[in-house]
Structure 1
């Protein structure tokens, strides 16, 4: 609960502790918030004690119609379920019985000036972010034509230099070196920088540079959904590299989410920034249902059928070039 409270204050949710600092070590396990409603009249059938309880104007007004003993009874029953925390919205005065019941069960009570709907909306999103499954990967995340592209590869292969070229070509840096990925239910994998190195890059020979200071706010962004991975690797003449674009099995699974991956060999004469731009444009086309590789393959097979009308139709896997 302490981490959630700190995050609320950092994001301007004005969450202030009412009463004693109790229950701040309680774990919040779900992002949803709950308005007690029927629980205040003793019906706990659809009560969700695992959620933070929110008391708005309706709940506080209703409690004001009950006697002190009735309030104490129902609020003690509610707090006995060990709810993570209680929040009173609109800067309403928390009933004494609520504070006493929370104190006896070591539950933190907070107050906020926000109305109930606004507080629940913003806090739910904040908790979804805090509780989301997280992975930290070595690479560089760049927004290229609106596509979140993560450049990966061994140390020293030129990931940051490639990202710097992309920034110079008008694209936007999200994270360099360490990319924090969070799995959000409705958005997918969202990548961002570690806070300490946000907007910074390490360029060998130059050291640490601040991209925002050098190129302006238009050259950076705080986060971006990951849609494509470009894996840089040293050229290996014996390795297989997709030359047709028909290899559908090139994906990397991160936090259970498959992400398209393109393996790009690094060798003299290849302009990696331009290759990544083309990969991003191709990703946009595929998202619109335009698959250039499949179109080419279909045309090629059609020409083969025309040239050999008596030959049986091709079967099996898509055409794949020889590595020799």
Structure 2
């Protein structure tokens, strides 16, 4: 494992700054709240009239500073804004309000647009690397390490459409990590159930961090988050609920989810509310002291 001098990273400028970012969407809704659109006649009327547009708050005001050497996990229920945040950081979306600043172009793990299922894995390695701006000489140098990291061995020469979802995820990660990005974004790509790959990918991300970069990971696997992250943020309904250590943040999120699954919504909201209140109190103290907290 690569040793990382956290103090060294904190001396330099941050990798990513998310400054008072909000993201809203205007989407069509068939619910007019009046009851006049119910039943088959109502459905017909909805087809003939203008769509009802509603505002969806995908992310409420969020500010974060991510330093060099940090590996940040993002957890939360479906619809909490995790993938939206990743798209904002990667530049795929522009925020409705606020700004996102990065020390270099973030690389989102997901070269799916460039990959062709009918082609073999090795051909897709070339396509994926070309899509990320590498030339053939660079691909030649990196090819063997990409195959080794993917763990596909001889399957690299089979059509990608024959791969399991885990095999495809491993190949996408190996390709994306080949460019030594300063800012790497991993969205639900490490839940392969492969212990050997988990070890290899963690080692690779440690190497990226050691090269003065940072990593963002979105995953529903809390084991993955705890194993691979140095910091975890919890989002719920577009709101930042907690920003803390992997152990503490995932434990509170597990407690919250457990209460929800039992139907104890009041207890779940209490857990979330206390976590949110602690975050706000911490932010107030940070602003008052005029400094970043340790590890940020």
The TM-score range, normalised by the shorter chain, is: under 0.3
Q: Which has the higher helix share?
A: 2
- RCO (CA 8 Å, sep 6+): is it higher in 1 or 2? 2
Name the larger-Rg structure: 1
Q: Which TM-score applies when normalising by structure 1?
A: 0.22
What is the TM-score normalised by the length of structure 2?
A: 0.24
